[in-house]
Structure 1
Amino acid sequence: MDPLVVVAIDFGTTYSGWAFSFRHEYERDPIKVSSNIWQGGTLVSQKGPTCILIKSDGKTTESFGYDAETKYAEKVEENEQDQWFFFKRFKMLLFKDKGMKRNATLEDESGKKLPAMTVFALSIEYLKKDVLETLGKQVDTGLTVDDIHWVLTVPAIWNDAAKQFMREAAQKVGIPGKKLRICLEPEAASIYCRHLPVSKSSAKGEKTSFAQFSSGTKYLVLDAGGGTVDITVHEVTTSGELKELHKASGGAWGGTKVDHAYEAFLTSFVGSEVIMKFKKKHMDDYIDVFRDFEIKKRQISPTKQEKVTIRMPTSLSTLCSEMRSSDLKSLILQSRFGGKVKVLSDKLRVDADVVREFFRPTVRNIIDHVATLLKEPSVHGCAAILMVGGFSASPMLQESVQAKFPNLRIIVPDEAGLAVLKGAVFFGHEPTAITERVCKYTYGTGTTHKYDETCEHPKGRVERDGNGDLRCYDIFSIHARSGQSVKLNEEQPEQSYSPVSDDQTEIGFKIYSSSTAHPHFITEEGCSLIGELTIPISDTSLGKNHKFGTSFIFGGTEIVVKVEDKATGYVTHESVNFLG
């Protein structure tokens, strides 16, 4: 049954938000999506900063977003920060090549630790409560759990453990697992833009429409957020849905890298000790410095030569005088930026070239990666690049992409930063919009078999088992290969498993991944143990003769395993445990 309402939570590195739409509204006008308005000082936005202030018990949320920033600054001013936990931009903890653990911890701004699961769960809980309050005002009768379908966004380049971590954090605060879908961010953006009547092409300012792209059209989705840049390639199918052509890729090249470069710029002339003291004594001014820069960095372009004016609080200059025995103006004159930065009262006037340099390394990483991707055989014939995510609103990134790829249409929707959030709502209504995906890894299980001189794999570990038979061990039994196209709900070939003892109450086996398409052994370089699958055995009367057929399903946003009890025909769908 279709849900009455779909709620999406876009949990970003820098900004987070929620949006929803009712089913009847979606059927009449899909673009009609409601979202929150966040306010912080002079900034008004449809997503708020991913910051959370937690009380001293480590279990209770005091505030989230702009409010959390402001209240924490007040606590710092009153020298009470040690009684609180303040976390910001913590999502990047989950961007790991290796496995993520359920018991991982996070350090707050002052070095105090809390379980990462607690911090993520409390953040999701805040967003959940906020959207439910808004929904409650719009619906006459109370909404039940069954009326709402929840969607949680994650980067497509995240591993399976990180996706499971987010799912468990959401379930921990009362979002039912059966009513929750994980949505991949670039896919959400792609679905969103397929619904827009028109989008703007950054090349000549003309209007274009993704919805009118005919079947067979290929386009690259460049989702540039605060923490990560997520890139995937889609093709329009004959039925109008989308299929992925190349496995998701990207890296930690988001807009926060520009913020880090700006902080490094300030540190280069005032010194790290001054910045640390500034952060500790004047957190409110420190926050304002970066809020001001957030507005300014959206105006920087590769061609504008006007100097950039950045507000600089007097508290920083005062600290320089106290700690460096020199005012801010003198310190800048002595630095390598002496001729390029001027101090005017409470402002810095910075040459455009200096500010552009903040962007260059991360923009270069993005451009180089896209260029490499466009050379892949499966991507040949790509017609356009769709730029979404908050960092895609930057003229520095937009114009650099246009200059590097002049033969492609570069399309940026008006609300590039909201494309993922609103697209996630569409995905909740249309979970079959992406009909085919590409495996990022080779997945399989570790297995063993009797040694035979005709074994096709290279010679590995061969030992005698308890029965005296020679066996090959550590065999990588492949269920899906890296680069393989997998359809939505498509079951991989069934493999059979049985207990090894008569009184066994479950069959457990380990799941491995490999970065190569043709691994032979689980001990090879590039192979990793990533999770475990458990098949419960409720009836042990058949002992070792009890057979279970397992079919992995890789075409969704999360891996599911279909298990059939061959004795009864009973079918269940099990999840792989990637968190240990």
Structure 2
Amino acid sequence: MSSLRLRQEIKSRRSRNRRIESGFRQDQNGSLPAFQESAEPDIIACIDIGTTFSGYAFALSKDLQEDRLAVHVNKEWISGNSKLITLKVPSSVLLTPEKRFHSFGYEAEWKYGQLAADKNHLGWYYFRKFKMTMMQNENPNIGTSIMDDTGKPLRAVAVFCAAIKYLRNHLVDALASTMKGVEPNWILENFSFQWIFTHPVNWEDQTKQVITMAAKQVGINNATLVPEAEAASFYCQVSPLHRINTRNGEMICLQTLGMKYLMLDLGGGSTDSTILQLTTDTKLIELINSTGNLNGGIKVDAAFINFLMQIVNEEVMEKFASSFKADLSYLHKEFEIKKRTFDPKSSDPIVFKLPTVLRRIFEVNMKQALQLKIEQSEYGYLVKLNGDTLSMDPDVFRGFYAAALENISSSLLKVLYAKEGKDCKTIVMVGGFALSPLVQNTIRTKFPDMTILMPPDPDLAVMKGGVLYGFDNQPVIYMKAKYTYGIGMAMPFKNGVHPDEKKFESNGVSLCSDVFKINITQNQDVQIGEFESRTLLYINRREQRFLCIPVYLSTVREALFTTEGTCQYLGKMKITLMSTRDEKAPISVKMALTFHELVVEVTDEGSGRTIRDVFADSPHIE
């Protein structure tokens, strides 16, 4: 987290408070000196309650004014397994028999497992994946009740309230911990917050009220709700997008006016396909959406559990799941680790440990060694058990994904084939399930003609984007150029202007080499994704069949030559010159900036041939 800026803010406010208190003591009238609060919030925070995992992101408004990517999340959550480190926490709530909050996330899972092991869990209220449970009700609203792990009902608002309160307090505690002697209440009293909450795009207003009411019960009266797809879009607009499937030189710019793109949110519980468009009046609108419940990572989990049921049978699995909650939680974590590390290209077997108690329950009830049962099953040649170590062929593991991937592909086709999907050529993948290489490969294979993109941290895109939405709910269309961009070229030599050492002759003409011809100037206001002023080049040799154009940037506003220390070579553009081209026509060079790339387009106006390539927009760091 940006602890330096935060510490500076805390220190400044503590000093201000001391001055105010001192002035108050010296004021004979006993009146407190007036302090004008800013209308802009000091801190923007987004809470994202997902089906399987939840979390928060936050930023100081002052930081976002300088850098739209200055959004921070909790460093890591302790899962109890050193191999499973997550930036979000399981959506699990544990309440006492008196319906008081006890714990959330990994701590709730651990405590409930201990209670179950001692047979003391029946009076407690444990909710796992409660968001999905609520959505299984018809028309969920503030009066909807959901069932806990043992079938006891509780209003959904109370469960969401517990989750929101925990995440809010965790964030405030983290902020307070950045400076010694600062209490969480002091943070709440001296910093203004804007709270953003994300929700699935297809939620009705009555369902959104569950979050709004739960937030109010925690003391958050200024809650702003934003659809997950829209939040993710705000983050992807400013994030360097990873190209899973693109064509050479293709511009990656979600701010192109009129452009349609499909935001594919691959979450733990569901997959949401939403086509968004940035209209000519810079409004981000939703054209169509489709939600596939239980098509996310949770469907892969279900396939794995079904596989175990086929091996040990349903009765044994039920006894294990109902009586050994801690071991079941361990099994889920083991499988989660394998999901995150599975390489679909590898032929190595997938190996993980089964809980010893599961094997024992099977052998006591079935009077047969589990190893022997596996050998006699349809998986006999593909799955091996050695003690408690289960080893399976990667094809078996890959099969756990089959149904989910088929449903995701069908959902995408449904949206893309709708009339609103016409001319949509780009898919942007976000969500934790998008991290899976197998998922990425499948989408790329199923949709080879689509441009497929993904931000560097897709599992955090929604909650980071929620912060950006809270900062400015209008898409970013313009930006200031970070550097000066141009090409290296030769120009007619001017005595007294150009240095003699750069003079050379070509076809009887005196030229100056290494001239830096500027296309975009540092701090120039540019429309993102739009090509700026062009440079025209002319061919002075009739037999010339190709042209190489070097591309440079300069770290200063003005540079004369590419050999200056402020200039850095980015690469070159090479265009073939047709023998039939109009010899008098120029070669035009145009440049455009996205948030993280420089796009160069070269057109031979004598033949109509155009090439385009993409370069880094910042100096190389050696």
Q: Which residue of structure 2 lines up, in the alignment, with residue 276 of structure 1? A: 318
Equivalent residue for 1:54, pick from 91, 95, 98: 95
Q: Which residue of structure 2 lines up, in the alignment, with residue 338 of structure 1? A: 380
Mark the CA change 1:199 to 1:373 in structure 2 (over 3 Å): closer, same or farther.
same
TM-superposed CA distance for 1:358, in Å, is 1.3
Mark the CA change 1:434 to 1:264 in structure 2 (over 3 Å): closer, same or farther.
farther
**Paired letter, 1:425:** V
State the distance in 1 between where 2:254 and 2:101 align.
46
Correspondence 1:115 to 2:160: no
TM-superposed CA distance for 1:296, in Å, is 0.8
TM-superposed CA distance for 1:213, in Å, is 4.8
**Paired letter, 2:142:** R
What are the ranges of 5 or more consecutive residues in structure 2 without an aligned counterpart? 1-38, 478-622
Correspondence 1:317 to 2:359: yes
Is the 8 Å Cα contact of residues 38 and 47 (structure 1) preserved in structure 2? Answer: yes
State the distance in 1 between where 2:344 and 2:249 align.
23
Q: Which residue of structure 2 lines up, in the alignment, with residue 194 of structure 1? A: 237
Q: TM-score, structure 2 length as denominator?
A: 0.65
* Offset from partner CA, 1:381-423 (integer Å, 9 cap, x none): 2131000001111122211110111111111212110001101
Q: Which moved more, 1:274-283 or 1:234-243?
A: 234-243
Equivalent residue for 1:21, pick from 50, 59, 63: 59
State the distance in 2 between where 1:29 and 1:310 align.
43
TM-superposed CA distance for 1:240, in Å, is 5.3
Q: Which residue of structure 2 lines up, in the alignment, with residue 497 of structure 1? A: none
State the distance in 1 between where 2:249 and 2:397 align.
31
Name the SS for the 2:229 alignment partner. Answer: helix
Paired residues, what number?
Answer: 431
Kindly report which structure 2 residues correspond to 1:237-386, keeping only aligned pairs within 5 A, or say none. 237-238=279-280, 242-247=284-289, 249-300=291-342, 302-386=344-428
State the distance in 1 between where 2:472 and 2:385 align.
54
Mark the CA change 1:208 to 1:414 in structure 2 (over 3 Å): closer, same or farther.
farther
Q: Which moved more, 1:123-132 or 1:141-150?
A: 141-150
TM-superposed CA distance for 1:431, in Å, is 2.5
Name the SS for the 2:401 alignment partner. Answer: helix
State the distance in 2 between where 1:34 and 1:205 align.
32
**Paired letter, 2:390:** L
Is the 8 Å Cα contact of residues 316 and 362 (structure 2) preserved in structure 1? Answer: yes
Name the SS for the 2:122 alignment partner. Answer: helix
TM-superposed CA distance for 1:376, in Å, is 2.2
TM-superposed CA distance for 1:110, in Å, is 2.3
TM-superposed CA distance for 1:370, in Å, is 0.7
Correspondence 1:38 to 2:80: no
Kindly report which structure 2 residues correspond to 1:403-414, keeping only aligned pairs within 5 A, or say none. 403-414=445-456
Q: Which residue of structure 1 lines up, in the alignment, with residue 215 of structure 2? A: 170
Name the SS for the 1:382 alignment partner. Answer: coil
Q: Which residue of structure 2 lines up, in the alignment, with residue 81 of structure 1? A: 121
Q: Which residue of structure 2 lines up, in the alignment, with residue 157 of structure 1? A: 202
**Paired letter, 2:71:** V
Name the SS for the 1:298 alignment partner. Answer: helix
State the distance in 2 between where 1:157 and 1:224 align.
15
TM-superposed CA distance for 1:250, in Å, is 4.0
Correspondence 1:95 to 2:135: yes
TM-superposed CA distance for 1:251, in Å, is 3.5
State the distance in 1 between where 2:443 and 2:371 align.
37
State the distance in 1 between where 2:45 and 2:178 align.
14
Mark the CA change 1:123 to 1:363 in structure 2 (over 3 Å): closer, same or farther.
same
Is the 8 Å Cα contact of residues 94 and 108 (structure 2) preserved in structure 1? Answer: yes
Kindly report which structure 2 residues correspond to 1:470-489, keeping only aligned pairs within 5 A, or say none. none
Mark the CA change 1:414 to 1:268 in structure 2 (over 3 Å): closer, same or farther.
same
Q: Which moved more, 1:60-69 or 1:145-154?
A: 145-154
Mark the CA change 1:212 to 1:279 in structure 2 (over 3 Å): closer, same or farther.
closer
State the distance in 2 between where 1:97 and 1:222 align.
25
Mark the CA change 1:316 to 1:93 in structure 2 (over 3 Å): closer, same or farther.
closer
TM-superposed CA distance for 1:248, in Å, is 5.3
TM-superposed CA distance for 1:137, in Å, is 3.7
State the distance in 2 between where 1:342 and 1:206 align.
45
* Offset from partner CA, 1:257-283 (integer Å, 9 cap, x none): 111111111111112222222223332
Correspondence 1:2 to 2:44: no
What are the ranges of 5 or more consecutive residues in structure 1 without an aligned counterpart? 436-580
TM-superposed CA distance for 1:113, in Å, is 2.6
Q: TM-score, structure 1 length as denominator?
A: 0.70
State the distance in 2 between where 1:211 and 1:367 align.
24
Kindly report which structure 2 residues correspond to 1:418-437, keeping only aligned pairs within 5 A, or say none. 418-433=460-475
Mark the CA change 1:257 to 1:206 in structure 2 (over 3 Å): closer, same or farther.
farther
Q: Which residue of structure 2 lines up, in the alignment, with residue 147 of structure 1? A: 192
Q: Which residue of structure 2 lines up, in the alignment, with residue 68 of structure 1? A: 108
TM-superposed CA distance for 1:362, in Å, is 1.5
Is the 8 Å Cα contact of residues 97 and 159 (structure 1) preserved in structure 2? Answer: no
Q: Which residue of structure 2 lines up, in the alignment, with residue 507 of structure 1? A: none
State the distance in 2 between where 1:208 and 1:427 align.
27
Is the 8 Å Cα contact of residues 107 and 114 (structure 1) preserved in structure 2? Answer: yes
Q: Which residue of structure 2 lines up, in the alignment, with residue 184 of structure 1? A: 227
State the distance in 1 between where 2:246 and 2:274 align.
25
Name the SS for the 2:57 alignment partner. Answer: strand
Name the SS for the 1:163 alignment partner. Answer: helix
TM-superposed CA distance for 1:322, in Å, is 1.3
State the distance in 2 between where 1:208 and 1:327 align.
58
State the distance in 1 between where 2:364 and 2:341 align.
34
State the distance in 2 between where 1:137 and 1:288 align.
31
State the distance in 2 between where 1:203 and 1:307 align.
28
State the distance in 1 between where 2:362 and 2:250 align.
52
Is the 8 Å Cα contact of residues 200 and 206 (structure 1) preserved in structure 2? Answer: no
TM-superposed CA distance for 1:219, in Å, is 1.1
**Paired letter, 2:224:** R
**Paired letter, 1:323:** N
**Paired letter, 2:159:** V
State the distance in 2 between where 1:163 and 1:331 align.
49
State the distance in 2 between where 1:259 and 1:163 align.
28
- Backbone CA RMSD of aligned residues: 2.4
TM-superposed CA distance for 1:93, in Å, is 2.8
Mark the CA change 1:374 to 1:186 in structure 2 (over 3 Å): closer, same or farther.
same
* Offset from partner CA, 1:418-465 (integer Å, 9 cap, x none): 001101111111224499xxxxxxxxxxxxxxxxxxxxxxxxxxxxxx
Mark the CA change 1:138 to 1:239 in structure 2 (over 3 Å): closer, same or farther.
farther
State the distance in 2 between where 1:378 and 1:203 align.
23
Which of these two proteins has the greater Rg computed from alpha carbons? 2
Is the 8 Å Cα contact of residues 270 and 320 (structure 1) preserved in structure 2? Answer: yes
Mark the CA change 1:205 to 1:324 in structure 2 (over 3 Å): closer, same or farther.
farther
Q: Which residue of structure 1 lines up, in the alignment, with residue 267 of structure 2? A: 225
Is the 8 Å Cα contact of residues 229 and 263 (structure 2) preserved in structure 1? Answer: yes
State the distance in 1 between where 2:372 and 2:293 align.
39
Kindly report which structure 2 residues correspond to 1:388-403, keeping only aligned pairs within 5 A, or say none. 388-403=430-445
State the distance in 1 between where 2:249 and 2:161 align.
41
State the distance in 2 between where 1:183 and 1:387 align.
18
Name the SS for the 1:110 alignment partner. Answer: coil
State the distance in 2 between where 1:403 and 1:113 align.
44
